[in-house]
Structure 1
Amino acid sequence: MVATLLYEIPLQGGDVTDGVVRVDDTVRRPASTSTPSVHALLMHLEAAGFEGAPRVVGMDEFGRQILTYVPGTTGLRLESASDEALAGLAGLVREFHDATAGFPLTLDGWEEGSNDDKVPEVIGHCDLTMDNVIFRAGRPYALIDFDLARPTTRLFDIVTALRHWAPIADPVDRPPLLHALDVGERLRLFCDAYGVLPRDRRRLLELARLRFHRSYTVMRTRASAGGNWAKMWANGAGERIRRAAAWLDVHEDELHAHLV
């Protein structure tokens, strides 16, 4: 066990996990049933030479995870809304996926969530929102908050990222900085920078629709148990998913044209 220092700075931004604090150069996070799997993944990434993730330090006397603090900025800003940032994120996600090679892809021990029907290829982050990407010098540098990570396909994790970063969303739900962007162009840009194969590009929108359906069901189930999931649901998360799916139905052909 590692002794906890007294001075703790609450860290804001995530929707799901409360009680995340910074202590000097470390972050303390509440543990969950998936913590052993997440720590094993982070140690694998370190051994693989992937620099874009926190390192595992241990557990403190309160049973909290101790991870290294990754300095930088998060959230939606001019720098994170740019095409350059999107291409940089695609490259970072590709590096992350490649670095998970050789890690066991068993589904046991991870947080349950929506997923692809195909056989898992990588460990996906599965929660690549603006709050979970660290920027340095205007470019994506690291991924944080791996609580929802799980075995999946490359394309499913890509679709999850593009939900927020393209964004695949009804304009009424987009932040002002993302409101007028050409979503089709950004889908293509991400796919080009990542190196998404043609067969996966043809399937991307189909998988996005499947993800919307399944994430709606998963979130509704989690919300019924209360906690932060219930707060997100009460704040319209389910309605935003439904609107995004409807927007995708209307604009699928023009988006698909950018991908093929």
Structure 2
Amino acid sequence: MDEYPEEPISGAGLEDRNLVRVGDTVRRPAGHWTPSVQHLLGDLRARGFDLAPDPRGVDRHGREVLSYIEGRDQGFPFIPEILSDEGAEELGRLTRRLRELLSAYPCAADARWQCAEGAPTPGEALQHGDLGPWNLLWGDRQRVVGVLDWDFAGPGDPWYDTGHLAWFTVPLMDDDRAGQRGFPSPPDRHARLEAFATGAGVSSRELVQVVLRAQAEYERRVSTRSGPWATFRQMGLNEKARGDRLWTARHFA
């Protein structure tokens, strides 16, 4: 019997995913991808990326067990760290660090991911797959202290995570959408784009192209995949991604 009671965890997710806290751990439903994700997390932590949860196997109920990370989530409207240009640059640095680590991950040929199997092919690398403000925790001094929810990890474009996070951080979408996503007033997108690009180690022009690719890829995933992606499709997130991509191309490309 567990020593600690189970405490339901609520956050920025789109639906109740049956996450609970038990002592210093989080328990969540497991899937066929869980062993590969846990190996990835263990490798990242072994190479110094302590922002990833510590993988601790599965419990007697078959749930995935991860270390609990203390921190603040995105809030609504967004917390000041995300709204500041300094916060945008911090998130750019995060993507650069994560991109370098994931590109060097020694993925097994028999790895099983939620939407793919095997190791990355030439030109690909492992990616988080859902790197947005909703999957980050913040600590003191405008620093990210946790990168959560690795269920969508798998092989793909090494720059996808960079483009995906920049999309929602700058943000590259119209003012109405930006307000719905947590910005209380229209942001200075050019300044935030430059700040994020500086952190990510690319030019702002290059970052725009990376975002456009990520928007197109996200639209494709929502339009074609099953499982949770079908829920996203019912919510019209593929159409919203298409609208954001057209807006980005019109205003920044």
* TM-score strictly above 0.5: yes
1:28 counterpart residue number: 27
Give the gaps of 5 or more residues in structure 2: none
- Relative to structure 1, the CA distance from residue 13 to residue 98 in structure 2 (aligned partners, 3 Å threshold; closer, same or farther) is same
1:110 counterpart residue number: 113
1:207-246 matched pairs, under 5 angstroms: 207-222=210-225, 225=226, 228-246=228-246
Equivalent AA in structure 2 for residue 177 of structure 1: F
- Relative to structure 1, the CA distance from residue 202 to residue 86 in structure 2 (aligned partners, 3 Å threshold; closer, same or farther) is closer
Secondary structure in 1 matching 2:83: coil
Equivalent AA in structure 1 for residue 113 of structure 2: W
Aligned residue pairs: how many? 243
Secondary structure in 2 matching 1:177: coil
* Maintained 8 Å contact 1:106/1:151: no
- C-alpha distance in structure 1 between counterparts of 2:45 and 2:235, whole Å: 37
- Relative to structure 1, the CA distance from residue 34 to residue 186 in structure 2 (aligned partners, 3 Å threshold; closer, same or farther) is same
How far apart are 1:90 and its partner, in Å? 1.9
1:85 counterpart residue number: 87
Q: 187, 194, 199: which one pairs with 2:200?
A: 194
1:212-236 deviation line (CA, Å, top 9, x unaligned): 23322321233xx5x6544433333
Greater Cα shift, 172-181 or 240-249: 172-181
Equivalent AA in structure 2 for residue 39 of structure 1: Q
* Maintained 8 Å contact 2:7/2:20: yes
Please, what TM-score do these two structures have when normalized by structure 2?
0.83
* Maintained 8 Å contact 1:81/1:177: yes
How far apart are 1:142 and its partner, in Å? 2.0
2:167 counterpart residue number: 163
1:127-142 matched pairs, under 5 angstroms: 127-137=130-140, 138-142=142-146
* Maintained 8 Å contact 2:10/2:16: no
Task: State the identity %.
Answer: 29
How far apart are 1:185 and its partner, in Å? 2.4
How far apart are 1:149 and its partner, in Å? 1.7
- C-alpha distance in structure 2 between counterparts of 1:65 and 1:112, whole Å: 18
1:176-216 deviation line (CA, Å, top 9, x unaligned): 526411223222211211222x5xx6544334333323322
Equivalent AA in structure 1 for residue 143 of structure 2: R
Give the gaps of 5 or more residues in structure 1: 254-260
1:146-187 deviation line (CA, Å, top 9, x unaligned): 111223444222101111111111222112526411223222
Please, what TM-score do these two structures have when normalized by structure 1?
0.81
- C-alpha distance in structure 1 between counterparts of 2:212 and 2:222, whole Å: 15
Greater Cα shift, 231-240 or 80-89: 231-240
